[in-house]
Amino acid sequence: MLADVRKNRDFYLYATAIMLPVIAQQLISALFNFADNFMVGLLGAASLAGVSVANKPYTVFLCLLFGFTGAGGILIAQYYGARERRTMQQLFGLQVMGGLAIGVIFFLALHFFPRQIMGAFVTDPQTMRAGLDYLSVIKWSYIPTGVSLACMHALRALGRNRMPMIAGFVTMLVNIALNSLLIFGLLGFPRLEERGAALATLIARLVEMGFYLYVLQRQKTPFTRDVGSFRHLPRRVLGTFVRKGVPLTANEVLWTGGQMIFFWTYAHVQEYALPAISLLDQTTTLIYVLTAGMSSAASAIIGQTLGAGDIARAKEQARRLLRLASMLGAACLVLGCALAFVVPAAYGTLNADLREMATQMILVQAVLVIANALYMTTFSVLRAGGDTRSAVMLDSGYMWVVVVPAALLCAFVLPAVGRPDVRIAFVVVQVLMNAKIFWALAVLRLGRWANNMTRKN
């Protein structure tokens, strides 16, 4: 492996150059969420659990956007490789309008059905109250976030990761500053607690959207603010977008639905453990910072190479990216083992048994991170090549056929046999989720994923 790195030094440096801004942005985003949750956690376990549950719709929102913009990103990367700028702008306009529409839909759902959404996961009155207070404000943030994420994913498709990194850094600083002022009522500001955390996030998201609009106005990217240009998108390109976008979006809906079932399983088995699950989620985001950068680099590199028509080179690049993913996964393993003890210890307001639960589950997640890094890279390569069928079968197909039934079995069997321990359910779910790496690597080796979609159009 190291001999290949030395031999193909230029490629690995190129991949690293694409990865580093994404890693920085993911780290900023993870710290954004960590700071948010840490300050809320200082209010108590009920507040931490309530805000964690209230943020579950945001997970669904992100996954829907990922599916929708994923199709656009695949095509933008390949048309960038083919140097067709007009089509890129039209696809960008479609992404922005789609992100705006998805944001409005989620705002309406959270506005009219907040209690039903919270009640699907929790019964504790204090947890419910904290979550509803948070939702009453955070629902407004989905609209600007939809626009910002559409811009971010379009720039990432080109490997232009510096601007999203700057946007994320500014957003994090605004959020942390306002959190401290509005949650605890410092410097004469009102003490708003959960509502304050939500208001700080809303303002930060508006600043983020404003940054992207400013960048587009100054024309510092291949895109412009002419988002209405999507109306002139050629029908053949729109047809490809639909053929790739519908399966990817359906996959994200199914995948997110599975994740919601996993969370419901944990809450059903042991609702008391929800604060520990919140710590696990925060730490997992930090552990996966490197692998997220790897996935973004894989999509951009493979997509542009295929768009340029070099199929053989794209396959060789995929093999090298997997080698890089395994090395990054090993680094994430070390990071995860360290964070397993550091993060729970920072939450002194939680009971010792909750902190111990969190530590044990984080260690399990860390052990499995190499398999996850390889899978995420493989999935990104398959998507970049347009092999959406295999990507969907591996992602949501496997989840619903194998892992979801196992999770539901845990939800009903563990309490019935007198073992309501969330850690058992968690280990079952995570081991089964990561076992699919063997299937994913077999699909990648077949090589059917390598397609030049610009030539087909």
> DSSP secondary structure string, 244-275?
HHHHHHHHHHHHHHHHHHHHHHHHHH-GGGHH
pLDDT tens-digit map of 377-406: 998 888 888 787 888 899 889 999 999 999
- DSSP-assigned letter for residue 141: G
Q: Average pLDDT, stretch 82-107? A: 85
* pLDDT category of residue 309 using cuts at 50, 70 and 90: confident
Burial 88-114 (b: 16+ CB within 10 A, else e): bbbbbbbbbbbbbebbeebbebbeeeb
Contact status, residue 69 vs residue 248, Cβ threshold 8 Å: no
**146-164 per-position pLDDT tens digit:** 999 888 888 877 777 778 8
List the structure tokens of 433: 């989720």
Instruction: Tell me the domain boundaries of the chain.
Output: 2-450
Q: In this model, does residue 456 exceed pLDDT 60?
A: no
**CA gap 204, 198 in Å, rounded:** 10
Cβ neighbourhood burial of 8 (10 Å; 0-12, 13-18, 19+): middle
The DSSP annotation for 15-49 comes to: HHHHHHHHHHHHHHHHHHHHHHHHHHHTT-HHHHH
pLDDT digits (tens, 9 = 90+) for 236-276: 777 777 777 777 788 888 888 899 999 999 988 988 888 89
Task: State the Cα–Cα distance between residues 188 and 45, nearest whole angstrom.
Answer: 26
Indicate the pLDDT class of residue 220, thresholds 50, 70 and 90. low
Candidates 84, 136, 79, 142; CA nearest to 112 is 136
Contact 299, 18 (CB under 8 A): no
Q: Is 186 left (phi over 0), alpha (psi -120 to 50) or beta?
A: beta
Q: What is the pLDDT of residue 229?
A: 67
Predicted TM-score (pTM) of the model is 0.76
At residue 333, what is the residue type?
L
Range name among 45-49, 73-77, 133-137 with the lowest pLDDT average: 73-77
